[in-house]
Structure formats: C-alpha cells, structure tokens
Amino acid sequence: MRAQVAVIFDDAGGSLEDLEEILAIGRPVTVAVLPGLRYSKEVAGRARAAGLDVFLHLPIEPDDSSKRLGPGGITSAMNDEEIAAAVRADLATVPGAIGVNNHMGSSGTTDERVMRAVLQVVKEHGLIFVDSVTSDRSVAVSVAEEMGIPTGRRHVFLDNADEPAAIRAQLRRLIAVARRRGVAIGIGHAQRLTPAVLKEMLTEFDRQDIQLVPVSALVK
C-alpha cells in the first residue's frame, strides 16, 4: 500500500488570496478555517466546492496569555455550557466543516474538562478531531478516543520557519514519517509560503509514490 500524507492548512479565513494558493495545489489538502473572520464562510464554501475537507480551526487557550485568541476562543475560565455554546457558534461561521483542530491550545488541550466540553460538541455534530499537538502534555487524543470520536494527531509542523528551504526540509521529513508509519499528517499555514512550496514538490511526492489524501482518509 502506498504511503499516505495529509496536509492541513491552518489559519484560513482572513484572505481569499491565500485560498487561491491552496486551490492551485490541485490535490486533496485540508483547509482549517478560523471562526468569525471576514472571509470564514466564503473560504469554507469555496474550499468545499473544490472538493476539499474543511475544518473549524478552533482557538483554544495557549500557555502564553499575551497571545490573542481572536474571535470564538475557548478558555479554561469558561464553564462547560459556555464552551459548548462557543464551539457551536464557531461551527456556524465555518459551514460544512467535517472536523475540528486546535489553534494554539498549549494550555487548553492539557485540561481534560475543557477538552471534554469541546469534544462533546464535536461528537454531537458527527465530526472528526485532529490534535495539532501544541503541547506534549495534550490529553485531546486520549479523551477523543475514549469518547469514540474519530481522531488523529499532527506529526510534523511544516512552516515554523516561513522560508522555502526550511519548508522543503519539513515536507521531506513528513514523507519520511509516512514511509516509516504508512501515514502522516502535516500542518502548515494558509498565509505562508507552504502552499507554493508544496505545489513545487508534487513531482517529488509522486516520484517517491507518496499519496496526498484528505485528512479524513487518515482519521479512524
């Protein structure tokens, strides 16, 4: 069986131009849309119309309180009902989302109560969940699995350095993980150089017989 790779592009929804770069890849990548931004609904609709998986990129509390969560964020100060209401409202701004992954979340994903409240809504809507793994102490996957939610986790961040050579190196690392494991999930960002670099590297993926698939194909 061919090794399979899924690439999620986070932070979509603020720009239509960024979406065009992603659509130009011409392969079934996944678009993770932040809630409540100017173009969140339009980006989600266009990505779905192009046959791509669309996720809600859910802002969850980070360790660094100086980082701005943006609209629709989830914090540990919220009670379970407030968290559930916020997740439902966020989903309404990303129509057609089939899954959720976390934006930031280095604090919130380590809090079992917070994640259980988030994931209850994920389960209610029949969605899948991917842990972006912004903390090695995250309990998100274990809680999701316990709740019977199809779930996966990020293996490689692609563009911590937004520079073509660095992104190419990370994409090759993603290929190596897929060869070793059979499957791998990489996360990049819609507004960075990653879509263009991935498009340039498609021949390398094909030459190494690596199949790009929707993330929904890898989440069990």
| DSSP bridge pairs for 28 | none
Render pLDDT for 55-93 as a digit per residue (tens, 0 to 9).
999 999 999 988 888 999 999 999 999 999 999 999 999
Look up residue 88 and give its amino acid.
R
- pLDDT-derived band at 220, boundaries 50, 70, 90: confident
Number of domains the chain contains? 1
d(Cα 108, Cα 20) in Å, to the nearest integer? 32
Render pLDDT for 104-140 as a digit per residue (tens, 0 to 9).
999 999 999 999 999 999 999 999 999 999 999 999 9
H or E stretch at 31: strand 30-33
CATH code of the domain containing 188 = 3.20.20.370
- pLDDT-derived band at 201, boundaries 50, 70, 90: very high
The closest of 163, 218, 149 to 194, measured between CA atoms, is 163
Helix H segments across the chain?
16-23, 40-49, 80-92, 112-124, 140-146, 164-181, 194-200, 202-207
The per-residue b/e assignment along 35-71, b for 16 or more CB within 10 angstroms, e otherwise, is bbbebbbebbbbbbeeebbbbbbbbbbbeeeeeebbe
Give the structural domain span for 101: 3-217
